[in-house]
Amino acid sequence: MANLGNLALELKYLIIDHLLIEDPLHSIIPLSGVNTTFRNLLAPRIFNTVTLRNTIESGNYFKSIADGPHAHHVKTVHYKALVTWPSHEYNEPLPSHFPAIIQEVLGSLCAKFPNLKTLRVYIPIEEDDFTEQFHEIEFDCSASAASESEHREGGWSEHVRETYAAISQNPPGQITVLEMLAVAPIHISSWDKPAFHAFLGGLERFEISFCGGDNGAGWQLSTTEYYPDFIGQISNLFFRHLVSVKRLSVTAEESGPVGENGEFSPAIFLDPGYMPLLTSLTLEFHFIDSELLDFLRAHKDTLSSLHLSQCYCSNISYAADPSIELSWSYFFQTLASTAPSSTSRLFSRLSSLVIEPVDIFKDEDFENGGYDHLKEDVQRVRGEIIAKGGWCRPFSYGCQDTKYGYLNPDIEWEIGRFRAGDDRGSYARCMAFVEENKKSNKKN
């Protein structure tokens, strides 16, 4: 009878690779129980990423890994908690659901897992609990009010405070990647502490995404008073302390875009002096504004990758200089500009530029009949993109509704800009410059 244990080592690796393609992790865990050889071969993959939940059982499981032979395989920890969001009619603090063993595990990650590099934190708010009442909730986003609010309400905010207080106990430098997922616009007192700032100082990659939603009646999260207040604080809370970061990712939601664009889209205050080592920047649902351009210019000597997803220019200029039209054309001209009295490019290291999506026109934009008169124009634009190929494409323009805050693409303006050719012409010249950089950087 055939025996898996008798197969050559190369064949065992082929089996593992095939199973990982078909069904990552779930298929290889049973295989690890076949014999000691497979267990040893698979352990680095099985324990590469481990998930911690806010339960005593999960904490004990983590301690067993830390005390066992596979602790050195752990490279990524994903902390995923489930916590009750308090009703706006609460009468007493809710439990934070933060067992002592979870505090112990999060506070000693570096000591327990010597090769840990990435920490992913996801403490979601139950969407219905939060968004349906977010206009009835009164948040004071000041640092002085944060601690009082956490202790008064308990529940979610107290859990987040305890989580980051525990994480801050780890020495800076070993964990080099922090991903903060679906962050709610609520000031947490732990983020103000020197220990957390020191932890941020040891990171090389920082990713933050914000939660979104509407209240069920159409009003977007961005229309609340506290959302712009919170967004206006993230620079002081996080960005200013990222002294070693090389890669930054900021992801907003369609219900709460960032970047200066009127009342509901606040600037995130990317100070030009922050993150001096930055090589890669990723933004999602961000309006192109003067602040972003200044930040990019300040990092012209280090920036090699720029990825913009669902980002917009406004058809109304919000430039600091009123004479400047903040169009996509101006944006691309900035990236491809030369130094004063010189022929050398300012962004000489920029070798990757991605603007998504390529097809900016969404079928749902035409479902309510508001843009029926533009359907044929859109089809002609799409046809021209296919016919010309290459770097021929339109770019997104829009604004937020002044009452409900929803993102409004200006399809007519987008078509007009495409026909005028300024945006796509500047984009083509910019991309040609980026390709030149790519070839030049490879030679060097």
The per-residue pLDDT for range 6-64, each reduced to its tens digit, is: 555 555 445 555 555 455 555 555 545 555 655 666 677 778 889 999 999 999 999 99
- How many structural domains are present in the chain? 2
- Please state whether 151 falls in left (phi above 0), alpha (psi between -120 and 50) or beta: alpha
Stretch 382-406: mean pLDDT, rounded?
A: 88
Based on the domain organization, do 172 and 293 belong to the same domain? yes
Residues 64 and 115 in one domain: yes
Q: Are residues 252 and 338 in the same domain?
A: yes
| Model confidence pLDDT, tens digit, residues 379-390 | 899 899 888 888
d(CA 232, CA 258): 10
Residues 40 and 186 grouped into a single domain: no
pLDDT of residue 344: 75
Q: With respect to residue 403, please indicate whether it lies within any of the assigned structural domains.
A: no
**For residue 329, pLDDT beyond 80:** yes
- 267 belongs to a structural domain: yes
Return the sign of the alpha-carbon dihedral for residues 67, 68, 74, 79: negative
pLDDT 10s digits, 54-106: 999 999 999 999 999 889 999 999 999 988 765 545 445 555 588 999 999 99
**Residues 286 and 188 reside in one and the same domain:** yes
Which pLDDT score is estimated for 347?
92
> What is the reported pLDDT for 1?
42
Please say if the pLDDT value at position 328 is more than 50.
yes
Kindly state whether residues 205 and 62 are assigned to the same domain: yes
Residue 382 lies in a domain: no
Stretch among 258-267, 273-282, 337-346, 403-412 having the lowest mean pLDDT: 337-346
The one-letter amino acid code at 346 reads: L
Residue pLDDT, tens place only, 198-230:
999 999 999 999 988 887 778 888 888 888 889
318 and 264 together in one domain: yes
Q: Which residue, of 291, 324, 359, is where some domain finishes?
A: 359
CA dist., res. 161 & res. 108, Å (int):
17
413/281 Cα distance (integer angstroms): 27
The average pLDDT across 408-425 equals 91
> Which pTM was predicted?
0.87
Residue 25: the pLDDT is 54
Cα–Cα distance, 214 to 212 (Å, whole number):
7
Two tokens, residue 140? 């004071």
Mind listing the pLDDT tens digit for each residue in 282-326?
999 999 998 999 999 999 999 999 999 999 998 766 655 665 678
Give the whole-angstrom CA distance, residue 121 versus residue 183. 9
Enclosing domain of residue 10 = 1-46
Q: Are residues 40 and 140 in the same domain?
A: no
- Final residue of a domain: which of 316, 336, 359? 359
Radius of gyration of the chain (CA): 25
What is the mean pLDDT of the segment spanning 155-176?
94
Give percent of the chain above pLDDT 70: 76
Residues 89 and 205 in one domain: yes
- Report which residue type is found at 73: H
Q: What are the b/e assignments for 358-386, b being 16+ CB within 10 Å? A: eebbeeeeeeeeebeebeebbeebeebbe
Strands 407-409 vs 398-400: parallel, antiparallel or unpaired: antiparallel
**Greatest Cα pair distance in the chain:** 81
Q: Cα(274)–Cα(100) distance, rounded to whole angstroms? A: 36
Q: Are residues 264 and 312 in the same domain?
A: yes
